[in-house]
A = this chain, B = another copy of it.
């Protein structure tokens, strides 16, 4: 580990404001999140859904008692690849004050190990085409950008 005192664990309800703060503190995220006091109830509704589903895990990185990183991990059963289990990661963030120390990389490696232990044959994610630093970050971890990620907004 780059930071010796860092731990990775499942998020608790109390961590939701720290997670939303990190999601909002970002060029794309600032347009779509609402980091306010009190936090919109919809964040807690989503947290409970994730927390109660054994195929979903909201992860945080904690350093000296402070939540400074987050990502969401999902396990998705699929018929394709002979009924192979997929792992999917989204909403990866490290607190801006702690970037550049290898925390994101350690958090991803910890998560990839979790996916391997569960028997997933692949870890997949999408990242906005504009996030070129992120592309390089994931490539260093062994990801290959073989796919086009497409979205249809329903709002």
Which A residues have a C-beta under 8 Å from some C-beta of B?
16, 19-20, 23, 29, 32-34, 40, 42-47, 49-50, 53, 55-56, 58, 72, 74, 76-85, 87, 90-91, 112, 115-116, 120-129, 135, 138-139, 141-155
In the bound complex, do residue B148 and residue A33 qualify as a contact, i.e. CB atoms below 8 Å apart?
A: no
Residue pairs across A and B with Cβ atoms less than 8 A apart, 22 shown, are A19-B79, A32-B82, A34-B82, A40-B83, A43-B79, A45-B83, A46-B77, A47-B83, A72-B79, A112-B154, A115-B154, A121-B154, A122-B151, A123-B152, A126-B148, A128-B147, A143-B152, A144-B151, A145-B150, A147-B149, A147-B150, A147-B151
A135 vs B43: C-alpha distance in the bound complex, in angstroms?
33
Which residue on B lies nearest to A91, using beta carbons? Answer: B80
Shortest distance from the beta carbon of A79 to any chain B beta carbon, whole Å: 5
Given contacts A121-B153, A148-B147, contact A80 B23 (CB under 8 A): yes
Which residue on B lies nearest to A90, using beta carbons? Answer: B78
Shortest distance from the beta carbon of A60 to any chain B beta carbon, whole Å: 11
Give the most central of A55, A74, A126, A148: most B CB within 10 Å. Answer: A148
In the bound complex, do residue A150 and residue B143 qualify as a contact, i.e. CB atoms below 8 Å apart?
A: yes
A90 vs B56: C-alpha distance in the bound complex, in angstroms?
18
- Chain B contacts of A20 at CB under 8 A? 79
A79 vs B146: C-alpha distance in the bound complex, in angstroms?
26
- Seed contacts A40-B82, A78-B90, A126-B150; 12 additional CB < 8 Å A-B pairs: A33-B80, A33-B82, A42-B84, A43-B82, A47-B83, A50-B77, A56-B77, A72-B78, A72-B79, A124-B150, A126-B149, A127-B150
